[in-house]
Amino acid sequence: MAYNFDASKSEERKSEMQKEVINLAESFKEKPQNFAEYLKFSSQFYNYSARNSMLIYTQNRGARYCNSFKAFKDMGYSVKSGEHGMKILVPTVKTYLHIGDNLIPLSKATTEQKNAYKLQQVQSEQKLYFKIGTVFDITQTNCPKEDYPKYLDLGYSSKQHAQIYDSIKKFCEEKLNCPVYENAFSSVNMRGYYEPTVNSISISGNFEDSTKLSILSHEAAHAMLHNDKEMRLTKRPEAQVEFEADATSVMLQSYFGIEVAESRLRHLSYCYKEMLSSKDITSKDVINSLDRAHKAFKTIVNNVNYKLRPDLVQSQTQSQSPQNLPHQTVLPNQIPNMGISGMSFGM
């Protein structure tokens, strides 16, 4: 599928939105510690892309649960009069027909051409465009506060950390073909590591459940994003690799109710500064790294939720549809290949 931006009157606004995302990434250069604040915010919006999470963050840092006007209406609520929504970028697929040497949009094809398309008598192709969409936070609607728990993802308690650890461990082993070993390391300072050449994770067995989950969240990110084949293809610098794993880990820990250690935040900040010290790294590279981290975060969260909270997955499936929402739940059999990042601007 080809990727394009819709040439229309809104193109200027879309360009402005891209600049807003880049400006946010630029602002982290001055205050890299603010990355943690953004990542914790982003963990609430795992069904959105990194860029759309950044757009929501720049427009309403107090947002908790966002939907389109129509989606809230279908849920039985109305957006309050005078409320201004947040602008995001929504993907839309368009079909084109190969007519002679021309590429004709299906919407503008003749009746004869459309019939030929239905009968598969002409070649066609699909292109992905992005249009501007508007979402509102739940606080901007007449939804009573007592109904908020129905829609706000309240995450997990510390009592469930052992279950989450086991779920992510199985995900690594079954989906990534990456075995997870628990070892008795000789040094108490050794917590865990990912070995890309053999695609395996080793975790110290000397810690309690929450700490083991914290360690695994970082190493699982490496397994998804930095396997041996991926690293040979992309050759990203070590600081960027660690930054992506840290960003994924901070979002996962925030979502699963683990207090992010100061050492992790310092490491995130250090790796970010080191990454930016390279003249070859731009703000767009930072955004692409965040996008990769967000996709890994989303995939792991969806797997854990599918295994441990089927009620949440079911409620999301019932209340969300592609027509109404700028996102939808991904189940394990729909997990994308995280080896090589493709086009990343969008949902």
How confident is the model over 238-287, as pLDDT tens digits?
999 999 999 999 999 999 999 888 888 889 988 988 998 888 888 888 88
| 202 or 130, which is more confident | 202
What are the tens digits of pLDDT across the range 33-92? 788 899 999 998 888 888 999 999 999 999 999 999 999 999 999 999 999 999 999 888
What are the tens digits of pLDDT across the range 174-216? 999 999 999 877 776 788 999 999 999 999 988 899 999 999 9
pLDDT of residue 71: 93
pLDDT of residue 206: 83
| pLDDT over 90 percentage in the chain | 48
pLDDT of residue 314: 52
Burial of 182 from C-beta contacts in 10 A (0-12 / 13-18 / 19+): middle
Taking the complete model, does pTM exceed 0.85, yes or no?
no
Given CA atoms 61, 247, 48, 78 in this order, what sign does their dihedral have? negative
Q: How many CB atoms lie within 10 A of CB 332?
A: 13
CA-nearest of 131, 152, 191, 143 to 10 is: 131
Q: How far apart are CA 60 and CA 153, in angstroms?
A: 18
CA-nearest of 293, 291, 288 to 268 is: 293
Q: What average pLDDT does the segment 324-345 reach?
A: 32
Q: How far apart are CA 66 and CA 71, in angstroms?
A: 10
Is a pLDDT exceeding 70 seen at residue 28?
yes
Is a pLDDT exceeding 80 seen at residue 336?
no
pLDDT of residue 211: 92
Question: Which of 117-126, 278-287, 318-327, 329-338 is predicted with the least confidence, judged by mean pLDDT?
Answer: 329-338
What are the tens digits of pLDDT across the range 157-177? 888 999 999 999 999 999 999
